[in-house]
Amino acid sequence: MSNHYDDQWKLLQKLKPTNEEKEITRMRIWQTIQASSPKITRTSPFFSWKNLLATCLFFLICGGFWLIFQQENKVQHSVTEKGINSNQISWKLEDTYSKKSNDGLAFYRKNQTEKVGSVHEVTEEKRKEIIQNHAMFVEEQMENFPYPTSMYIEHVKQMNVALRYHFFIPLENQKYFHFTFDYPKLEYAEIFTVISTLRIKGMEPNNYPKQLYVNHGYGKMLFPINLQPISISANKEVYNWESGSTEAFNAYIKKITEQKGLWKKKSTTKDSHTFESADGNEIITITIKGKTITYKFIYPNR
């Protein structure tokens, strides 16, 4: 990459842009992108004293083990001093797995060695440091997800990573689980499948009964969560929508039209709807056929 681009990147990291400036920069970046009782025997005063001491030591040791057992039973599904256990978290993205990594976990696709994400426990101070020291262009509270979740999207200057998603889930004592996922190592839909189906043992999830929708990357279009990618290219995306139906599709289209000032409908049929962005820079046709939902993208001004 050119020295000019490197200089611009360093300046970008130092800037503390306003929300309007973030939005402008975010859209520019988006347009270039398409993560257990002893028995005591008394024989003499000496042995009595010795046995008393041994008894005290025994109860002290037993008491220690009991406290450890109680503590482990209480937090067996939470973070320990040795870090996060891979059995403590689960989700419904089947082709991923986790491995121990320092005090946290690293996530991988099956049969691949390149890390696609991670999770660590961080303090409130560390959380603020992460947010302030990275080029974050999206900040959002994820409503109605299994756990209270703050999402940030970082623009990453790497050959194989365009965006890094950061999710913070609050624990006790001003601590958080900090999840990261890299795009395009994981597709947007896959990242949100993880977060929407996330289960943390020992933490009761919120079971929201209705369909949830999210934006993919810096884009404005809403997508249903729990889509499984079939094929993804610059101008066409095809997904399997397991909960898709005519009723669900109509509710989805209605949700898009309720976004005031973002999209205007250009045409519609029973199974297909075409929307144009308010600025005219993007046209998206959404079509459903059975459980398959397809998005076609046109960018008139490019």
* Residue 93 in this model has a pLDDT that exceeds 80: yes
137 conformational bin, left if phi > 0, alpha if psi -120 to 50, beta if neither: alpha
* Residue 24 in this model has a pLDDT that exceeds 50: yes
**What confidence category does residue 302 fall into, taking pLDDT thresholds of 50, 70 and 90?**
confident
**What confidence category does residue 80 fall into, taking pLDDT thresholds of 50, 70 and 90?**
very low
Q: How many H-runs (helices) and E-runs (strands) does the chain carry?
A: 6, 17
The stretches of the chain forming alpha helices (DSSP H) are: 3-14, 19-30, 45-75, 124-132, 188-196, 246-257
For the residues 81-102, what does the mean pLDDT come to?
A: 84
Residues 287 and 270: their CA atoms lie apart, in Å, by 9
* Residue 69 in this model has a pLDDT that exceeds 90: no
Q: Which two tokens stand for residue 124?
A: 């409130």
What is residue 300's DSSP assignment? T
Q: What is the pLDDT of residue 77?
A: 35
Residue 139 in 3-state DSSP? Answer: strand
Which residues face 268 on adjacent strands?
273
Q: What is the pLDDT of residue 26?
A: 52
Between 33 and 143, the higher pLDDT residue: 143
Q: What is the pLDDT of residue 86?
A: 82
Residues 94 and 186: their CA atoms lie apart, in Å, by 13
**What confidence category does residue 102 fall into, taking pLDDT thresholds of 50, 70 and 90?**
confident
* Residue 42 in this model has a pLDDT that exceeds 70: no
**What confidence category does residue 249 fall into, taking pLDDT thresholds of 50, 70 and 90?**
very high
Q: What angle (nearest 5°) sits at the alpha carbon of residue 232, between those of residues 230 and 237?
A: 85
Q: Do residues 200 and 98 make contact, with C-beta atoms less than 8 angstroms apart?
A: no
Residues 127 and 133: their CA atoms lie apart, in Å, by 10
Mean pLDDT of the chain: 82
**What confidence category does residue 149 fall into, taking pLDDT thresholds of 50, 70 and 90?**
very high
* Alpha-carbon torsion, ordered 97, 102, 104, 107, to 10 deg: -20
For the residues 50-60, what does the mean pLDDT come to?
A: 51
> Strand (E) positions, 76-221?
89-90, 96-101, 104-109, 115-123, 136-142, 149-155, 163-170, 175-183, 199-200, 213-215
